[in-house]
Amino acid sequence: MDLGRGLRSALAKITGAAIVDEKAVKEMVKELQRTLISNDVNVKLVFELSKRIEQKALDTKMLKGIGVREHIVKVVYDELAGMLGEKYEPKLARHKILLLGLFGSGKTTAAGKLARFYKSKGLSVLLICADVDRPAAYEQLEQVCEKAGARFFGIKGERDAAKIVREGLKVAKEDIIIVDSAGRSAFDEQLVKQLKEISSALGAEEKFLVISADIGQVAGKQAAEFHEAVGLTGVIVTKLDGSGKGGGALSAVASSNAKVAFISTGEKIEDFAIFDAQKFVGRLLGFPDIEALLEKVKTVSEEASLPQDIPEKFTIKVFYEQLKAAKKMGPLGGIFSMLGAADVPQDVVRQSEKKMAQYEAIINSMTKEEREDAPLLRKSKNRLERIAKGAGCKQEDVKEFLSQFEKMDGMMNQFKKNRGFRKRIEKMMGGKDIDLSKLT
Ligand SMILES: Nc1nc2c(ncn2[C@@H]2O[C@H](COP(=O)(O)OP(=O)(O)OP(=O)(O)O)[C@@H](O)[C@H]2O)c(=O)[nH]1
Ligand SMILES: [Mg+2]
């Protein structure tokens, strides 16, 4: 389960609960633990964190004029942010940066991203290729420079990295000088020796270790080793997009004596940001900041006191309502979890308008019975054929729609106990955007 979804679903144990009591808090904490551990966060860290959350959440003396749900959400938010680190303040004056790290961690890519970042702050940038091992390192960095709009310096065929740095400095006029160094498959003396040489030739003010998130909590050990050997000023955690261990990597670095400075979330040059633990948690939970989150929890808690009616049955009709609501709210459908429901899968939210129109046509070609009882459709080829004909599409499209529905249905089963979900969605959307008349 991805970290954001797991955290949202844990919080829903509070925001979506009819009664918030010790049992609800314990359930939430248990789910938080499961999510964090499956994200490779260190077990001891998770245990300490959950103990603190439980204590603070149940401490009613801390309720200063806010509701109990808001209080608990704030406790979780603050503790998670604390566990993941702080906010990095980049230096914006003239300075020199050394990038180091193991093989393939994303140093060269990060060099381009950093160059673009400092350029966007109005600073000029020179990138020096001090990777003397990788066969095409020179050409790779040259290309990166072109993309980032930075000047390139390198000496083809030169085997002495420190010498390249010294020569580069002689011609450097730029505000920011970034040196890309060679990777190695393991932390060893030879690597440390080379890094020390480059670092002293450069006189680096910033030494960033580049670590790929997919190594999880091992990132902590790696950061500590490099820090001891060469004195890091920050860590760049890359590949957060493709790893289920990002939480483990970030928290482990935060609890070592190094600090996360930047994060990289994709191969493209713009997939890069200054690390800010609070903002990061906000994004995981689907809200830009704690204020927006608390505001939402407040409305949700008020709505939670609505009379709860019959348990919701998840039907095609309900699915379609959610789809439309989720689309309106964009890819951060985190709100669904806050309401105590499963997230609509991201690939479903990203469906194009054309697909939505097709779905609507498919639903409109169903009988009322079929809309209430989707398994009927799987049982009969004739029904599929009839619907496809009615909707002007292929049978495969109908099947695709059905499998989207079934995927969501499976997720909804976890939330079966939660009542009044649809009511809340309807209220939230003001009843305007959900055109039920078409579907009945
Ligand atoms: N998905 C994803 N891929 C990334 C990210 N950062 C880098 N990569 C990819 O990871 C691979 C290695 O990146 P490089 O920047 O060449 O890594 P390096 O540390 O310079 O590698 P060496 O110089 O060989 O040690 C490339 O295919 C990059 O496109 C990221 O944040 N997300
Ligand atoms: Mg490289």
The predicted-structure confidence for 357-382, as pLDDT tens digits, reads as follows 888 899 989 998 888 888 888 888 89
Average pLDDT, the chain: 84
The ligand 1 atom at the shortest distance from the C-alpha of residue 140 is: 16
Take residue 140 and report the two structure tokens written for it: 């790779």
212 phi, psi to nearest 5 deg? -85, 135
Q: Where are the alpha helices (DSSP H) in 264-380?
A: 277-285, 290-304, 316-329, 335-338, 346-349, 353-364, 368-372, 375-379
Given this structure, which CATH class describes domain 3-85+282-304?
mainly alpha
Average pLDDT over residues 256-268: 93
Contact 9 CB / ligand 1 (< 6 Å): no
Instruction: Please report the pLDDT score of residue 379 as a whole number.
Output: 86
- Is the C-beta atom of 243 inside 6 A of ligand 1? no
133 alpha carbon – ligand 2 mean position (Å)? 9
Q: Hey, whose CA ends up nearest to atom 21 of ligand 1?
A: 104
* Cβ(267) – ligand 1 distance below 6 Å: yes
At residue 293, φ and ψ (nearest 5 deg) are -65, -45
Pick the CATH number of 95-275 from 3.30.30.10, 3.40.50.1980, 3.40.50.300, 3.40.50.620: 3.40.50.300
CA separation for the pair 347, 335 (Å, rounded):
17
In the predicted structure, residue 91 carries a pLDDT above the cut 80: yes
Q: Which of 175, 22, 190 is nearest to 93 (CA)?
A: 175
The number of the ligand 1 atom at minimal distance from the alpha carbon of 238 is: 31
Sheet holding 260-264, edge to edge: 151-153, 125-130, 176-181, 95-100, 206-212, 234-238, 260-264, 272-274
List Cβ neighbours of 247 (8 Å cut-off, separation of 6 or more): 3, 36, 39, 40, 41, 84
For residue 1, what pLDDT is reported? 54
- Ligand 1 centre distance from Cα of residue 57 (Å): 41
Ligand 1 in reach of 238 Cβ (< 6 A): yes
Ligand 1 site-directed mutation target among 263, 267, 272, most atoms within 8 Å of CB: 267
Which of 163-172, 242-251, 287-296, 413-422 is the most confident on average? Answer: 163-172
Q: Tell me if 146 CB under 6 Å of ligand 1.
A: no
Per-residue pLDDT tens for 375-428?
A: 888 888 899 999 999 999 999 999 988 888 887 777 666 555 444 554 554 454
More confident residue, 164 or 345: 164
Taking 90 as the threshold, does the pLDDT of residue 150 lie above it?
A: yes
pLDDT at position 394 = 93
Nearest ligand to the C-alpha atom of residue 112: 1
User: Burial level of 305, CB count in 10 A (0-12/13-18/19+)?
Assistant: exposed
Whether pLDDT at 75 is above 90 = yes
pLDDT for res 111: 98
Helix 189-202 crosses helix 218-230 at what angle (to 10 degrees)?
50
Q: What is the pLDDT of residues 301-335, one digit of tens each?
A: 565 443 333 345 778 877 777 666 655 554 334 44
Query: Looking at residue 103, what is its pLDDT?
Result: 94
| Same CATH fold assignment for domains 3-85+282-304 and 316-439 | no
pLDDT digits 0-9 by tens, 234-244: 999 999 988 88
Query: Which residue of 108, 109, 181, 272 sits with most ligand 1 atoms within 8 Å of its CB, as the best mutation to test the pocket?
Result: 109
User: What pLDDT is stored for residue 350 in this prediction?
Assistant: 58
Break the chain into its structural domains and give their ranges. 3-85+282-304, 95-275, 316-439
Give the position, in ligand 1's atom list, of the atom nearest the Cα of 103.
25
Closest-lying ligand to the alpha carbon of 270? 1
CB 148 within 8 A of CB 125: yes
CA dihedral 419, 420, 422, 424 (to 10 degrees): -130
Distance (Å) from CA 153 to ligand 2 centroid:
15
Any ligand 1 atom below 6 A from CB of 241: yes
State the closest ligand 1 atom to the C-alpha of 266, by its place in the atom list counted from 1.
32
Class of the CATH domain delimited by 316-439: mainly alpha
pTM of the predicted protein model: 0.74
